[in-house]
Amino acid sequence: MQVEIGGHEYTYGPRGNMTVELFYRLQREGSFAATSQINPSVYFQYFEPFLRDGTDILYLCFSSGMSGTFQSAQLAAEELQQEYPERVILCLDTLCASVGEGFLVREAVRKQAEGLSITELADWVMNHRLQVCHWFTVDTFDHLCHGGRVSSAAAVMGTALQIKPLLHVDERGCLQVIGKPRGRKKAMEAQLSRMEQGWTPETGRLVVIGHGDTPEAAARLRENVQARFPSAEIHVAEIGPIIGAHTGPGMLALIYWGNNR
Number of domains in the chain: 1
- Identify the CATH number of the domain in which residue 148 sits: 3.30.1180.10
Q: Residues 45-65: pLDDT tens digits?
A: 999 999 999 999 999 999 999
Q: What pTM did the predictor assign?
A: 0.90
How many CA atoms within 13 Å lie on the side-chain side of 4?
5
Integer distance in angstroms from the first to the last C-alpha of the chain?
Answer: 26
Confidence class for position 242, pLDDT limits 50, 70, 90: confident
Q: Is residue 249 part of a domain?
A: yes
Q: Which residue has the higher pLDDT, 163 or 54?
A: 54
Q: Is residue 127 part of a domain?
A: no
Q: Is residue 1 part of a domain?
A: no
Q: What is the pLDDT of residue 204?
A: 96
Q: Is residue 113 part of a domain?
A: no
Q: What is the pLDDT of residue 144?
A: 65
Q: Does 135 have pLDDT greater than 60?
A: yes
Q: Which domain holds residue 247?
A: 132-257
Identify whether the C-beta of residue 106 lies closer than 8 Å to the C-beta of residue 94. Answer: no
Q: Which residue has the higher pLDDT, 198 or 31?
A: 198
Q: Is residue 65 part of a domain?
A: no
Alpha helices for 114-151 (secondary structure H)? 118-128, 142-146
55/36 Cα distance (integer angstroms)? 28
Q: Is residue 5 part of a domain?
A: no
Q: Is residue 144 part of a domain?
A: yes
